[in-house]
A and B are shown apart, each in its own frame.
Chain A
């Protein structure tokens, strides 16, 4: 094992590098991914080492990026596209939803489109509008796409490589406010948790808290705080939203009988609604309280000086936990 202490951003970089070394068909493309190394430096140094043919600074056009990635994939390449910020994926929505997601089925399985779309997501960095969104539900709602969200450097390193290896298109969410979180990453290892498996990241007995991406850390902090008050929270990092590892979730909720779902996206029509419904279907007789959801409000993402009120924080998570016990 070669453990290196890496930030999440650097772990992404290391994972991309491994994938590019392993397979010459892997390309990186997007706005400012070349010389600049991306606005978060995730692709730092890749163009220098792999050349402009494989690390492509594209024209400023998201539909163009995804549309041409589809063409490159048709020609045997494995493009890894960077969308600079969550709020800028929408110009590419048509290519993703009407084309990328459906090509395999339309071709009766003849066509594979191994395209990865990396999207830094979520708020909490004091940014202006369109730079703090959580658009995952638009994509989990689109059959034909795989949707994953990493929460820490170890998963960032492995999941990006697994996503690139996937024969299906993968929308890959990166928790932008966690880019600077550090962990020891085994940069030679390949003995990874399967891409679509959830992970129990903290074992507990009294209540299950489900999260993904940037919210995982907040939930772990909440669990720590609750432990001080004698309440044992189990935290599951879903990692994969579509497909969803419902088995791991059900196993946990059957034990705890209570569940709180946390995400930054608005609660209404959000991914948590799917979780709540599914858990209710599978665990109905074991539930001591309804599945509660903590997330963004039914409003546009607010200006940054008030975003801390919008984002689920420790207090709001623990408040929901309390409410499941008060039921």
Chain B
């Protein structure tokens, strides 16, 4: 049933020696809202730029709307709509003049152009202010025009690159609504890029988690969260040896125990993760994947108490995408 509108094959981009996108492959189904989640510098914008013809890939290709990215770029460009990360607008021109220009460079003219511009102005609820220079708009309104500019030519596949950066909560909700409506009412496929896991969780059916130019996980959100199992507990200790890890694995409720690649980062201000100890550890951290975090927690504490081993820090990772990322990379999405 799921027909793919985008199939990416070994797409790679190098800037000199630096490989910003490392031969990624994935596909997106028609009618999906697909998320690209990753921290700043992960390579999301670079990947999108290649898929929209802004950057030439170093190697690899993609098929978009049945056209080959390398060989049929002009057709691909008509399928695509791009909403760049930056406010890519002309500030001294009105919203209407901006939108008319972006329609014209897709070949729209005359009455057709006019009706489409009015249509997208309605989608982003800016008809009233359409003749004011964009430079005078609030940040949220600019974002909405920015989105509208990618819609004038009615693309089948819309790339939204971090469309909510620097936006007030109200405009943000408005943007989410618009994205959902475009998807539901107009059947537009959407690729949504963000480093906010909440947005991706809220909007997307499937998510590719990107880090350092690679896709490190790709699945539906429930499946991704299931990677954390019953939850992950990070335990900081003075000393860790293989023997201890083996014993930990034997505890009831524990699925896996391993030495974490990197030490735990300082606790976040918004309290997404629960901290038992506020100390920033400078000691090894054991990552314990559980079948049931509550049961495992009690048993683990009991285990260490019995052996008189001091626990330096203890952290329970909530089952969310943020922690999936932390679990996969040992890093936080936002630093």
Whether chain B is bound by chain A comes out as no
B binding-site residues for A, Cβ under 8 Å: none
